[in-house]
């Protein structure tokens, strides 16, 4: 190379450093200079990159067309320039045709670039053909093909390509590892993902923050939180994305306390959470009914950001509503500047489940006036409102209007709401007929709703039928057995109840222990039936005895029929006194100031005895007591419940 060529080469190399693009005018002047110096062949790859990186793709392709002897180094650059055009296929086909006339048309660099261009054009078949021409595909080539399948939405096939790549002995780099681990996470392919992770560890690139985060996300998506935590703990430089993936993973996989612990540890580390991380923390607070912790998490986001962000707004509305603070949920909704359909639906559902069905119905009208059309989730909110308040006529009307006026095909969730509504109202035959007429197979939720109605209205025959279906669908769910056993017990069929317990034992089915949570000073306290492990147990039981005496004076009689076992009434009464929600309420009464609202979350349905007792406790203590069980909200005030005894 001449001195002039070397000088121009150094200039081009300098301007092609990262974030140091050549101005378009300078590029044109260099092009003219190179033409005069007859140096296009020597420096064409550098010039083409300069032209392409500064947005002059057509100019780059024009230069390439003038090259008398384009090389295997210039074709990939030209193909990349073509792929950046609005219509890349025409230029790509011309380049492909020209490359076939040259001896190096099967060069892996050229074919990989061609593969990427065809993938960019949505021609996956042609991209695969380009790959198949390679005798020894490189890591870059395999990665390009995997990426092509992923970008086309064919993620399962992308994982299949990855398996072939690793079977062929491909050694992954960090980019390949991220792509493959991401693909495995999308299809929850833990086996392939873990094989990739082992290969990554062998290559010594597991410490790369992007690779480790992709592995973490794989484990989270597959529900393997212990393995995800092991990856997270080994990361040297955790960024906000890694922290957020763990917080969201714990929240979505049923570990709300761990999610909150990590979220606040993130704050202590000085790491600012992204909006999705805050949404995950709010979801954990929602699950626990931890209102104060939810408020604390919300303060980590600038108020204006929440009002402009539908994701955060929805999470806040959902958290406040499900923690029993509908007023705060309404305040967020009213102040939000960006309301999409998800935000509207969250508020409608929140109002409906907390006993404000009339406002929920009116809000749908406001939504339509604002130009928003109700969707299938809107009607789930409306039907839930009807279910929680026993509005059978309104439920039928909304179900009819959804299909006839809005042309929305009911999903299984809509049928579930209707079966629940009809079953609770005692219309068991109508509910059963609706199940028979459904266009899809009924799931466990629907049969469970019918079974719940059978319990309320003591229809043991239909309950047995529902249970048989439930056993087929979820044979290890103890709740179904317990509910039927209670039906038998309520009817005095102790032998049948005993046989059912023996069947549970034979199948290895164990009853899920009831537990209730309350939050105090940023800490969640959990209680179980007959729990005496809490440091304040003595005071708690003293308060329960005190309440018991006052309730009896007011005419309270324990509803012993809800006790599953065939034991003496006096022992049944003792068992009822120690239900977890009563213990949680007594704890709140001895640890909070008079007049403060009490919020309890329970993992199972509140029994009828506790429901009656809590109504009296709310009158005795002059407290608002909000209990959220696994089915609905109960807001007790002055001896009454918001559900109107309909649950």
Written as one string, the DSSP assignment of 14-35 is HHTSTT-PPPHHHHHHHHHHHH
Per-residue confidence band for 568, with pLDDT thresholds at 50, 70 and 90: very low
Can you tell me the mean pLDDT for 63-67?
A: 57
Q: pLDDT tens-digit profile of 428-458?
A: 999 999 999 999 999 999 998 998 888 788 8
d(CA 359, CA 411): 25
Can you tell me the mean pLDDT for 621-645?
A: 84
Can you tell me the mean pLDDT for 462-491?
A: 83
pLDDT for res 29:
54
Q: pLDDT tens-digit profile of 112-158?
A: 777 777 777 777 787 788 787 777 888 888 888 898 889 888 899 99
Q: Record the tokens describing residue 65, joined without a space.
A: 């067309």
Q: pLDDT tens-digit profile of 371-385?
A: 889 999 999 999 988
Give the N- to C-terminal CA distance of the chain in Å, as an integer.
88
pLDDT, the chain, mean: 82
Q: pLDDT tens-digit profile of 266-304?
A: 988 888 888 889 999 999 998 888 888 899 888 888 777
Q: Record the tokens describing residue 81, joined without a space.
A: 């320039």
Q: Record the tokens describing residue 595, joined without a space.
A: 């007049």
Asked whether 489 and 478 are in contact (CB, 8 A), the reply is: no
Residue 399 has pLDDT above 80, yes or no: yes
Can you tell me the mean pLDDT for 314-327?
A: 90
Helix (H, G, I), strand (E, B) or coil at 226: helix
Contacts of 253 (CB under 8 A, 6+ apart): 220, 223, 225
pLDDT for res 333:
94
Highest mean pLDDT pick, 22-31, 88-97, 432-441:
432-441
Per-residue confidence band for 89, with pLDDT thresholds at 50, 70 and 90: low
Superfamily (CATH H level) for 410-511: Tetratricopeptide repeat domain (1.25.40.10)
Comparison of pLDDT for 56 and 74, the residue scoring more: 74
Can you tell me the mean pLDDT for 296-317?
A: 85
pLDDT for res 91:
58
Asked whether 602 and 516 are in contact (CB, 8 A), the reply is: yes
Count Cβ atoms within 10 A of the Cβ of residue 145 and give its class: 0-12 exposed, 13-18 middle, 19 or more buried.
buried
Place of tokens 């190379």: 1
Can you tell me the mean pLDDT for 476-481?
A: 80
d(CA 386, CA 356): 10
d(CA 294, CA 283): 9
pLDDT for res 259:
94
* Range of weakest confidence among 74-88, 536-550, 622-636: 74-88
pTM: 0.73
Residue 21 has pLDDT above 70, yes or no: no
Asked whether 226 and 191 are in contact (CB, 8 A), the reply is: no
Angle at 398 between CA 392 and CA 404, to 5 degrees: 135
Q: pLDDT tens-digit profile of 156-214?
A: 999 998 999 998 888 889 989 999 999 999 999 999 999 999 999 998 899 899 999 99
Residue 580 has pLDDT above 50, yes or no: yes
Asked whether 598 and 518 are in contact (CB, 8 A), the reply is: yes
Written as one string, the DSSP assignment of 273-315 is PPHHHHHHHHHHHHHHT-HHHHHHHHTTS-HHHHHH-HHHHHH
For the packed helices 139-151 and 108-120, what is the interaxial angle rounded to 10 degrees?
10
């Amino acid at each position: 190379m001449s001195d002039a060529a070397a000088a121009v080469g150094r200039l081009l190399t300098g301007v092609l450093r990262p974030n140091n693009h050549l101005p378009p005018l300078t590029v044109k002047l260099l092009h003219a200079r190179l033409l005069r110096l007859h140096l296009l062949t020597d420096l064409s790859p550098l010039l083409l990159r300069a032209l392409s990186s500064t947005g002059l793709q057509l100019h780059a392709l024009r230069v390439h067309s003038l090259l008398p002897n384009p090389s295997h180094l210039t074709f990939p650059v030209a193909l990349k320039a073509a792929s950046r055009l609005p219509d890349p296929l025409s230029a790509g086909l011309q380049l492909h045709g020209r490359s076939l006339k040259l001896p190096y048309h099967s060069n892996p660099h050229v074919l990989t670039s061609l593969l990427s261009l065809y993938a960019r054009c949505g021609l996956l078949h042609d991209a695969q053909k380009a790959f198949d021409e390679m005798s020894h595909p490189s890591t870059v080539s395999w990665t390009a093909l995997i990426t092509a399948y992923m970008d086309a939405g064919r993620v399962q096939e992308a994982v299949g390509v990855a398996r072939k790549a690793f079977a062929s002995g491909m050694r992954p780099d960090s980019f390949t590892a991220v792509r493959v681990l991401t693909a495995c996470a999308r299809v929850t392919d833990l086996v392939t993902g873990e094989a990739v992770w082992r290969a990554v560890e062998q290559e010594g690139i597991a410490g790369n923050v992007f690779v480790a985060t992709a592995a973490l996300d794989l484990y989270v998506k597959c529900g393997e939180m212990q393995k995800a935590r092991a990856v997270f703990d080994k990361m040297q430089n955790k960024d906000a994305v890694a922290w957020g993936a763990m917080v969201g993973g714990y929240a979505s996989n049923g570990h709300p306390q761990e999610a909150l612990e990590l979220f606040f540890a993130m704050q202590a580390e000085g790491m600012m959470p992204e909006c999705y991380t805050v949404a995950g923390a709010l979801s954990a607070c929602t699950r626990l009914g931890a209102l104060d912790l939810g408020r604390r998490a919300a303060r980590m986001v600038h108020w204006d950001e929440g009002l402009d962000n539908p994701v955060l707004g929805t999470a806040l509305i959902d958290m406040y509503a499900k923690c029993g603070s509908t007023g705060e949920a309404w305040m967020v909704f009213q102040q939000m500047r960006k309301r999409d359909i998800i935000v509207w639906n969250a508020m409608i559902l929140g109002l409906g489940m907390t006993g404000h069905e009339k406002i929920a119905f009116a809000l749908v009208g406001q939504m339509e006036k604002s130009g928003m059309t109700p969707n299938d989730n809107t009607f789930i909110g409306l039907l839930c409102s009807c279910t929680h308040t026993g509005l059978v006529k309104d439920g039928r009307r909304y179900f009819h209007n959804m299909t006839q006026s809005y042309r929305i095909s009911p999903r299984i969730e809509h049928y579930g709401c209707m079966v629940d509504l009809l079953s609770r109202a005692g219309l068991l035959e109508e509910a059963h007929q609706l199940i028979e007429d459904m266009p899809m197979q009924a799931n466990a939720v629907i049969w469970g709703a019918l079974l719940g109605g059978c319990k309320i209205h003591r229809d043991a025959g239909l309950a047995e039928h529902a249970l048989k279906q439930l056993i087929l669908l979820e044979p290890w769910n103890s709740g179904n057995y317990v509910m039927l056993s209670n039906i038998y017990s309520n009817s005095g069929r102790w032998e049948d109840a005993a046989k059912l317990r023996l069947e549970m034992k034979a199948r290895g089915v164990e009853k899920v222990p009831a537990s209730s949570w309350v939050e105090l000073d940023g800490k969640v306290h959990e209680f179980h039936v007959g729990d005496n492990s809490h440091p304040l147990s003595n005071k708690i039981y003293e308060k329960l005895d005190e309440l018991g005496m006052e309730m009896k004076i007011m005419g309270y009689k324990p509803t012993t029929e809800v006790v599953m076992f065939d034991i003496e009434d006096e022992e049944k009464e003792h068992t009822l006194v120690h239900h977890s929600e009563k213990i949680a309420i007594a704890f709140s009464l001895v640890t909070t100031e008079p007049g403060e609202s009490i919020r309890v979350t329970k993992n199972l349905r509140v029994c009828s005895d506790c429901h009656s007792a809590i109504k009296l406790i709310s009158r005795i203590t002059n407290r608002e007591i909000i209990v959220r069980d696994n089915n609905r909200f109960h807001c007790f005030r002055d001896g009454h419940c918001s559900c109107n005894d309909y649950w």
